[in-house]
A = this chain, B = another copy of it.
Amino acid sequence: MKALVLAAGEGKRLRESASKGKANSPKPLFPLLGLSLIERTILNLRENGIEEIFVVTGYQGEKIKRSIGDGSRYGVTVSYIDNEQWSLGNGSSVLAAEKVLQNEPCFLLTMADHVMQPSAIKKILNIENIKPGEVHVLVDYKRQKVFRIEEATKVRLNSHGRVLEIGKSLKDYNAVDCGVFLCTPGIFQGLKEEVSEGRNALSDGIRRLAEKGMVKGVDIGEEWWIDVDDGWDLEEARKRLLKSLPSPRDGLISKLINRRLSVPISGFIASTKITPNMISFTNFIVACLSAAAFIKGLWPIGGLLAQSAAIIDGVDGEIARLKYMATKYGAYFDSILDRYGDALILFGMTLGWYLAHSDAWVWFMGCAALIGSPMSMLGKEKFHALTGTPYCPEKYDGFLRFVPANRDGRLFLIMLGSFVGQLPLVLGILAVITNFLAFGRLVMVRKVLCK
């Protein structure tokens, strides 16, 4: 499917509220966590498999073209349509694309300045039966989660999801327009009829079609979206993007401690050129430093560095998700380096204790912890490889899910143990819980994997 992105507006209010350096940029080029607004829109489309994108430009169009180019950098092709009449209203921008899209059975229409997740756009792309002449519009029924509803375009739908009325000043409404449309060329007809009567907004054209019963609403559900008009909106979009970063499969320590630190770090470095693989490597170096500190006998420092590695371990994935940079190689690189980081920390603890106390027993503890350490990942990856679905601890682990044998739990225990100076005890605890988990899983997954 092809997509049309409207990027012609001036964005006056955002520019007025911006710092001096950015005040000359058109709104689609305003940065948000390392990507401009229009880059986020284009990458959202790419994530949904859309590879041919038309961008309508108006205000400072040349700047946008220079910034985005032909789209090859994003893995898509971007073509531009100039709309000299952009100041009349966004309906004129859609009409400017009639020539290139009039023969498409169906295309996606979205705004360069609306921020959302790829999964929100997916909701409307899942629609299968769109009839000739119809337009489907993504709507949000949960009005309480709409940021600054007074600015939004309101929609009244009947119980079958058919749009009855649409408009900014609508008093009696039950949903809000999210600015994403699945269109047939019928949209051009509706717009032309309105333009001939002097009304140039996209919502005018939609209203015209709605009067004919040709507009349907698609529920955005639990997904969020923000129409960025000024600095407040931009700040809210930033907050929501960061809030969406923690993974639902996080362990307890990750949830309670690590993410609270890794997410702000990600927010800070998103605007730099630091890549996720660089962060994975930094994480490995911090683990090496932790091992070195343990060997030198600096136990609390070793422990703090180990816990720092656990926190940094979240950042690579967060940056990858925030900036659409996730690759399979990144996941591979990260998990192998993590295993080495873990192993080096355990080895450093063992050697450090041995050098300090000449106590050969610590090698038993160290070896047992080293043996157990990769087993959690090994079991999960083997399961994933065999079944094609990721291992879900909540589903399969039973009571074992309370054993803190994942990386977040292991490194947190190491920090605690280093503070009280009981390295062999921590190594022993780690050995018991990681190996217990591995053997326990042999029992737990039996039912699932025996056909």
Contacts and interface: CB of A to CB of B under 8 A. Distances in A.
Interface of A: 327-329, 331-333, 335-336, 339-340, 343-344, 347, 350, 354, 360, 363, 366-367, 370-371, 374-375, 377-379, 381-388, 390, 438, 441-442, 445-446, 448-451
A445 B333 CA distance: 10
B450 A379 contact: no
The 6 closest A-B pairs by CB, nearest first: A329-B449, A384-B385, A381-B381, A328-B449, A343-B371, A328-B386
A283 to B, nearest CB: 14
Contacts of A331: 382, 386
Given A375-B339, A378-B377, A332 B386 contact: yes
Contacts of A378: 335-336, 339, 374, 377-378, 381
A418 to B, nearest CB: 19
Interface SS, A side: helix
Contacts of A446: 329
Contact of A388 (B383, B388, B451): B388
Given A335-B378, A350-B367, A385-B390, 18 more contacts: A327-B449, A327-B450, A328-B449, A328-B450, A329-B445, A329-B446, A329-B450, A331-B382, A331-B386, A332-B386, A332-B449, A336-B379, A339-B375, A340-B371, A347-B371, A350-B363, A367-B367, A381-B384
Given A367-B366, A367-B370, A379 B327 contact: no
B375 A328 contact: no
Given A377-B378, A378-B378, A332 B371 contact: no
